[in-house]
Amino acid sequence: MMENRRYLFLIFFFGSFFVVFVARLFFLQVVSGEKYRRFARENYLKQIVVKSPRGIIYDRNGRILTDNIPSYSLSVDILKAKEEVIIRLTKLLDIDSSNFKREGNNLVLKNISFHNICAIEERRTDFPYVSILVEPLRRYNGKEVFLHPLGYCGEISRKELKEIGGYKQGDFIGKRGIEKEYESFLMGKDGASYVEVDARGNEVSALEGEGSFIPPIPGNSLFLTIDAELQRFSYNLLEDKGAIIAINPKTGEVLVYCSKPGFDPNLFSLGIPLYLWEQLKEDPGTPLWDRVKDGAHPPASVFKLATAIIGLKKGIVKENTKQIFPCDGSIRIGRRVMKCWEEHGSLGLKNAIIQSCDVYFYQLGMSIGSDEITAEAQKLGFGKETGIDMPSESMGFLPTRIWYDKRYGKAGWGRGVAANLAVGQGEILVTPLQLLFFISGIANYGLIVRPHILKKVVDSRGEEIFKPSPRVRRVSIDKEILEFIRSAMFGVVNDEKGTGRLAGVSGLKVAGKTGTAENPHGEDHAWFAAFAPYEDPEICIVIFVENGGMGGAVAAPIAGKIIDTWMKSKKLKI
């Protein structure tokens, strides 16, 4: 009986052991088989990420503005490589260990010279678990000339990683301009390759066969509306600080988008040092500032066109209405004497625009009132975004009665405010882009097409996959008023007493308006807005020269040269 019990116990014991053994084998080979096969594979195989190139950016004529060139990077697996490997690398490359950036379980050093790559390969056995990667590097062919419309790329931040999906640490992403606005089109999809490695992590050979290489998918290419040659020509005409924006008023296509000064965006592709970034931020020339869409300043006498439109709409003034007090160079408003740049005598509205008489518009502004000026100006597009296809833009500023009451008290301001607003001075602020938006509506007989920089998106096969739809709106201005304002602008350039005569182009009818904005911090700012040809406009342009002086003397000639160059280039293409 005892022997039978022992026999049954042994059977139960060995049977249980066998069942557990078989169950464990089943778990390891069937349930977790794929997991351990992957572990085994990873011991002799290494996955190398093949970075996808960003899409190329072209101008309207197919000239390359931004593309990619190959660059070399180092990646050190810090879970496997010993500290002495890092020490040997820093000595060989003559750098500090702080130059490496942590990306997951790797230390990465980007943009290594080919000479240093060769030096590492010659001593390959000294650098186990060190990989050499070939990655696309963003290259900006126009450097600072195209900086502000194109923007630039930079390494993705921790905040962006949390907010945006589809990226990993170390990836580059559009930070400003078109690079940021159309990031979803420009970004590609990374691929991968697999190589065999030895016990020290050194690459032995590339894996062959199906699944050994997953090709990267390049980003889509963008064709812009900007003309590269006209952009370079325009940028060089600005001697110091300023902005130039030009569009085709019929289509909204941006032809020129210049903000000066700028800087070389290739610095960001290379990984800009902290000290250089601080220098850019503290530069008194403010090269980081996009003066086209963010530079808000008083519009000066160009705003007289808006004041005239408001006065005509409200029936406060007619085309031949003369001012109550003829211009003798100044006018007293309350306790303040407000000056004009010249003595104009008695003028009608049209000649007041042509000769840019401040005294006329002081009186017209007081008749309209500050409330009506700001309310109607907003309807004309001031004080709000234009909607251009850029990541952000300034709204400018239109002061209201509430704002004045809060700042000066209800009894702290009077009719002089309306007089100042009427000539585009005081607290009103507009950007060159907003002013162009307004002028294009006049040029295009009341139709405003939203300005845009993108012309089309093309995939890697050359097929068009996206084209922006034009957004058009009509301003609520009578045809007769528009015709009058257009004829007055024609007189500004072509009348013998016009303030914008220097914008004239031989054989071409140009219309425009000058402006000189007072600047309490230095020299006056020069403005000029224009369009041509007069009857059927193909280009509408705004020039802003910071601390430039008189608009008619400084900004108008620049506009004339750009218009002349553009029209001649169109004839050559025909």
Given a contact cutoff of 8 angstroms between Cβ atoms, the answer to whether 539 and 510 are in contact is no
Predicted local confidence at residue 195, as pLDDT: 66
Q: Structure tokens of 99?
A: 């130059």
Residue with the bigger pLDDT between 134 and 527: it is: 527
Q: Give the pLDDT mean for 422-436.
A: 96
Instruction: Give the lowest-confidence range in 2-11, 28-37, 339-348.
Output: 28-37
- Please write the tens of the pLDDT for every residue from 131-158: 888 888 899 999 999 999 999 998 888 8
Q: Structure tokens of 499?
A: 């303030």
Q: Give the pLDDT mean for 399-407.
A: 92
* Amino acid in position 180: K
Predicted local confidence at residue 130, as pLDDT: 82
Predicted local confidence at residue 144, as pLDDT: 95
Predicted local confidence at residue 120, as pLDDT: 85
pLDDT at 435 over 80: yes
Distance CA 483, CA 473 (A): 18
Given a contact cutoff of 8 angstroms between Cβ atoms, the answer to whether 82 and 225 are in contact is no
Predicted local confidence at residue 37, as pLDDT: 52
Given a contact cutoff of 8 angstroms between Cβ atoms, the answer to whether 374 and 398 are in contact is yes
Predicted local confidence at residue 3, as pLDDT: 61
Instruction: Give the lowest-confidence range in 122-126, 191-195, 423-427.
Output: 191-195
Predicted local confidence at residue 322, as pLDDT: 83
Predicted local confidence at residue 39, as pLDDT: 44
Sign of the torsion formed by the C-alpha atoms of 462, 463, 465 and 466? positive
Predicted local confidence at residue 6, as pLDDT: 64
Predicted local confidence at residue 554, as pLDDT: 97
- Please write the tens of the pLDDT for every residue from 63-96: 999 999 988 888 888 877 778 888 888 888 888 7
Burial class (CB in 10 A: 0-12, 13-18, 19+), 427: middle
Predicted local confidence at residue 36, as pLDDT: 46
Q: Which residues contact 333 (CB under 8 A, 6 or more apart)?
A: 362, 366, 415, 416, 419
- Please write the tens of the pLDDT for every residue from 36-48: 455 445 555 666 6
The three-state (H, E, C) secondary structure of 341-363, written as one string: CCCCECCCHHHHHHCCCHHHHHH
* Average pLDDT of the residues of the chain: 88
pLDDT at 542 over 70: yes
Residue with the bigger pLDDT between 498 and 77: it is: 498
Instruction: Give the lowest-confidence range in 67-71, 118-122, 186-190, 394-398.
Output: 118-122
Q: Residue 184, SS3?
A: helix
pLDDT at 111 over 50: yes
Looking up tokens 């009578």 gives 478
Predicted local confidence at residue 89, as pLDDT: 84
Q: Give the pLDDT mean for 272-300.
A: 89
* Amino acid in position 397: F
pLDDT at 305 over 80: yes
Q: How many CB atoms lie within 10 A of CB 56?
A: 18
Rounded-to-10 torsion of CA 176, 179, 181, 184: -140
Q: Kindly write down the DSSP assignment for every residue of 97-153, as one continuous string.
A: GGGSEEETTEEEEEEE-HHHHHHHHHTGGG-TTEEEEEEEEEEETTGGGGHHHH--E
CA-derived radius of gyration, the chain? 33
Predicted local confidence at residue 20, as pLDDT: 64
Cα angle vertex 558, ends 555, 561, to 5°? 155
Predicted local confidence at residue 335, as pLDDT: 85
Q: Give the pLDDT mean for 147-174.
A: 89
Sign of the torsion formed by the C-alpha atoms of 488, 339, 414 and 302? positive
Domains of the chain: 46-224 (3.90.1310.10), 228-274+295-573 (3.40.710.10)
* Amino acid in position 222: L
Closest CA to 270 of 112, 490, 382, 415: 112
pLDDT at 574 over 50: no
- Give phi and psi for 155, each to the nearest 5: -65, 135
The three-state (H, E, C) secondary structure of 50-94, written as one string: ECCCCCCEECCCCCEEEEEEEEEEEEEECCCCCHHHHHHHHHHHC
Given a contact cutoff of 8 angstroms between Cβ atoms, the answer to whether 140 and 153 are in contact is no
Distance CA 382, CA 429 (A): 9
Cα angle vertex 381, ends 557, 445, to 5°? 65
Distance CA 242, CA 501 (A): 21
Residue with the bigger pLDDT between 105 and 64: it is: 64
